[in-house]
Amino acid sequence: MNKKILLLCGLFLFIGEWALAQQYISAVGIRATRTQFGVTLQQRVLPQSTVEAQLQFGLGKIVLGGLFEIHKPLLSKGFNYYIGGGYHVGRDLNDGAFSGPDLIAGLELKIPALPLQLSADVKPTFNLNGGRWFGIETGLAVRYILVPDRSNKNKRRNQNKHRNNQRQQRPGDIFKPKQQQPPPKKPTPKKKGKVRIG
């Protein structure tokens, strides 16, 4: 599993610059570790923060956890790293109930042109009562973006519209200097006629 995590991270670094800057509000998917499998749900609550719920099964255990995560762009807006923490409760068929805090750090990638997100994470877990007091799990997740954030798309559409309006103007109109009006002509004095005597 650790080798798979490293390979996936290398893939993220290779194609991260070509990822779309698509943001999301809600995403749901599956998450797998070496010994567990389950579902994950992410919901954005702040511009760069999400809450995540995880429900995992495996080795006679069921674990429900909640996490608060902060996301930051790494190579592009579509390739992020995130860190956070939370709390979990679970039950082991042999040892009974257990609970404790969690930490998490990972990488996530939005697939270009598809409503999909891939992530790889490392999650240290602590049990305050029951079970092993400390453990580290690595996980891979695939999520489907239920509610995309279209604010960036609308912003890009407005920018393209403004750019097209500028292209429709006649060439040189923007940089053409204003023509100066000639100064008004001064009135010419009338010539006085000669007066003849006798």
Query: What is the maximum span of the chain, computed from C-alpha positions, in angstroms?
Result: 147
Residue found under tokens 């940089």: 175
What are the DSSP calls for 65-95, one per residue? EEEEEEEEEEEETTEEEEEEEEEEEEEETTT
Spell out the alpha helix ranges (H) of 1-150: 2-15
Contact between 138 and 125 under an 8 Å Cβ cutoff? The reply is: no
Q: What is the identity of the amino acid at 9?
A: C
96: left (phi over 0), alpha (psi -120 to 50) or beta: left
Query: pLDDT tens for residues 17-41?
Result: 333 333 689 999 999 999 999 999 9
Q: What percent of the chain has pLDDT over 90?
A: 52
Q: Among candidates 132, 130, 128, 138, which has minimal Cα distance to 91?
A: 130
Quote the CA–CA distance of 28 and 40 in Å, as a whole number.
Answer: 6
Tell me which residue range forms the domain holding 52: 2-152
Question: Is the residue at 175 inside a domain?
Answer: no
pLDDT tens sequence across 145-193: 998 877 655 555 655 565 666 666 555 544 455 555 666 666 666 655 5
Could you give the CA distance from residue 48 to residue 23 in angstroms, rounded to a whole number?
A: 10
- The reply to whether 26 falls in a domain is yes
Does 184 fall in a domain?
A: no
User: Is residue 125, in this structure, part of any structural domain at all?
Assistant: yes
Does residue 115 sit within a domain? yes
Instruction: State the pLDDT confidence band at 107, using cuts at 50, 70 and 90.
Output: very high
Q: What is the tally of structural domains in the chain?
A: 1
Scanning the chain, the segments in alpha helix (DSSP H) are: 2-15, 151-168
Q: Which residue has the higher pLDDT, 135 or 183?
A: 135
The CATH number assigned to the domain holding 44 equals 2.40.160.20
Q: Which one is predicted more confidently, 170 or 92?
A: 92
Q: Is residue 69 part of a domain?
A: yes
